[in-house]
A and B are shown apart, each in its own frame.
Chain A
Amino acid sequence: MIFSFDLLINALVSGILIGGFYAAVTSGVSLSFGILDIVNIAHPAFIVLGSYVVYALNSSLGLDPILASIIVTPAFYALGAAIYQIYYVSFEKRGQESLRGLAFFFGLLFITEVTLVLYFGVDYRYVEASYIGPTWHFGPLDIPLRILVPSLVSLLLIAALQLTLTKTFVGRAIMAVAQDQLALRLMAVDPIRIKRIAFGISIATASLAGAFLIIIQPVEPSVGREYIGRVFAICVLGGMGSLPGTLIAAFLVGVVESLTATFYGPSWAPAVSFGFLLLTLAVRPAGILGR
């Protein structure tokens, strides 16, 4: 293949844009896995659930996908809080989170996926919005709006999460619960309540990420599986629990995946994140901005 500069520029830019979206997808896992140490491998399944809820609202009421996802965040927050409560009572309290807790989340992933298959079928679904379709052209560079818009909103989401974590009382308590539960208790804060809030927020981000996902690509129930490896690779690569690190890692993975897809073929792209994951675990388990 002749090396093409246009192709390279387009691959780089679309990689960065996709990276922004990956950051939104991973932010929930950075909260649950990175900070709370809860290995929620069902997170991508909740993202796909978010996509389908957005799809249902969009196709029946004609709501804008992103607006619809913001409307349903309280429901996702409540779902997350409820799941954490079950998780805490059944596993964390008994000290069985490593084996049975993982199996629990795996079961949730499976149940969500099969329920979506039973209810919506296995056809690809997509949403309608004014920014899906048009593309901005800058010389050789093409920027499709359906990737640009989710990417920008993703950055807003990350910024909002980071501000919440560093500036508000609850946010600081969430950071503290990762470090020392006992100290938090001595400050008269209930660590379980803080964890419940944090896990609720983590699942709430899944509804937004779900909207971004279905704007960017058509969705079918098992599409979340492709994201499991990617999401955890980005989370580990960025450094556990660091949102800025997550953002950097997401850009990195997005760009490398996009370059791989452009120059080697899209069927090789899923292997990229796994390579990153293994390399990080073997060389620097703390990640880029690890504590």
Chain B
Amino acid sequence: MRSDIFFLICLVVGCALYGGVVVLGNDYIFFAGYVVLQYVVLATAWNILGGYCGYVNFGSAAFFALGAYSTVAFYRFYPLPIPILVLIGAVVSGAVGLMMGYLTLRLRGAFFAIATLALAVVLETLVVNWDYVGGSRGAYIVRPETIAPFGPYIRYLFMIMLLVAIGAVTVARLIERSQLGYGFATIRDDELAAEALGVPTLRLKLIATAISGGLMGMAGAPFPYYIGYLQPATTFGLDYTVNSIAMPMIGGTTSWVGPLVGAVLLGSLQQIATVTISSAINLLIVGLLLVGFVIVAPNGIVGLVHRYIQHRPDDFVGRRRVGGEATGETTGSVP
């Protein structure tokens, strides 16, 4: 399917989703749906670097918070419209990702992972010490009650996050099917061999880091308007990091479908669990699911479904195919 057609289908699905929620008439669904969509963006963004290139980013919360705090910084200066703030968040987070990637990506993958972990701590230190954006006290953003064509303000925010999510998924799918995506896959499978064949690995990794970081910043930029009161400890919280890793891992990391499935499932589950059980137990569930899936189902839900579909014809042909399949896993491109 061509990418522009895919994008149009996504838009239609998005409009249907928005319309459906409006018809339900319950504003709480907008609040919960916003969080799920935000996780769709974060998970898709993480997967561009983590799933496609095989480099683990533990700093999702930092990139997310960069987007959120650039909004706060600009809000104090002059309250720009949110779509512009989203673009600013993307530029800021993407630039930081690029800079950090340049310093650490030349080394083995583990160093990059550790550096991203430390980045979250340092950025939090900077924000805590920066009074202009509220410091450790946090910052308030006064959200207007309503906005012209949408009615309640949350619907406007939901719409923005919906568009960002559609954009993120389209970009991920586009990358996957382009030369860039094949380059990323060579890095994931064998970086040394790729380098030897003339793949510009460092440049590709930097592109991936910048796109991934930028998308995370876009997810964070409208957040201050959503939450109303932004505080360093929660914005830099480990919840965002663990979710943005767990969702692609549970969904499946090799294609754009995985993070989407993982984020929608896990995100909705968490929204339900937070309301019905408690938020601490719901985080425990995420951690247990993450560990369980990486051990038992390395290719996530998408991998399980794939295997199920591939095995079924074997029941009919079965005994004639002596060798069976060699590895049991495909990346989707092998017919």
Contact = CB atoms under 8 A, between A and B. Distances in A.
Contacts of A270: 121-122, 124-125
A185 interface: no
Given A110-B290, A274-B119, A236 B111 contact: yes
Contacts of A98: 54, 56, 109-110
B283 A99 contact: no
Interface stretch (B24-32, B67-75, B291-299): B291-299
Interface stretch (A150-158, A176-184, A224-232): A224-232
B287 A99 contact: no
Interface stretch (A15-23, A111-119, A135-143): A111-119
A67 interface: no
Nearest to A89: B295
B230 interface: no
Contacts of B208: none
Nearest to A108: B291
B48 interface: no
A10 interface: no
A16 B253 CA distance: 45
A161 interface: no
Interface residues of A, number: 44
Interface in B236-292: 238, 241-242, 245-246, 249, 253, 280-281, 283-284, 286-288, 290-291
B126 A110 contact: no
A282 B103 contact: yes
A33 B113 CA distance: 13
Contact of A114 (B109, B122, B128, B287): B287
Main secondary structure of the interface of B (DSSP, over half): helix
Nearest to B135: A267
Nearest to A273: B118
Contact of B115 (A33, A39, A277): A277
Given A271-B125, A277-B115, A110 B242 contact: yes
Contact of A110 (B119, B125, B287): B287
Interface string B79-107: 00000000000000000000000011001
Contacts of A90: 294-295
A171 interface: no
A229 B121 contact: yes
Contact of A100 (B117, B119, B298): B298
A285 B107 contact: yes
Contacts of B109: 98
A192 interface: no
Contacts of B183: none
Contacts of A225: 121, 238
Interface string A79-107: 00000001000110010101110111011
A49 interface: no
A110 B286 contact: yes
B113 A278 contact: no
Contacts of A106: 58, 241-242, 245, 290
Contacts of A110: 238, 242, 283, 286-287, 290
Contacts of B249: 100, 103
B58 A267 contact: no
Given A41-B58, A102-B110, A281 B115 contact: yes
B114 interface: yes
A90 B284 CA distance: 21
Contact of B114 (A271, A277, A285): A277
Contacts of A113: 238
B331 interface: no
B56 A99 contact: yes
B27 to A, nearest CB: 30
Q: Give me the 7 closest cross-chain CB pairs, A-B, nearest first.
A: A229-B118, A107-B291, A110-B287, A107-B290, A111-B287, A274-B122, A274-B118
8 contacts: A102-B56, A103-B246, A106-B58, A107-B287, A114-B287, A118-B284, A232-B118, A233-B118
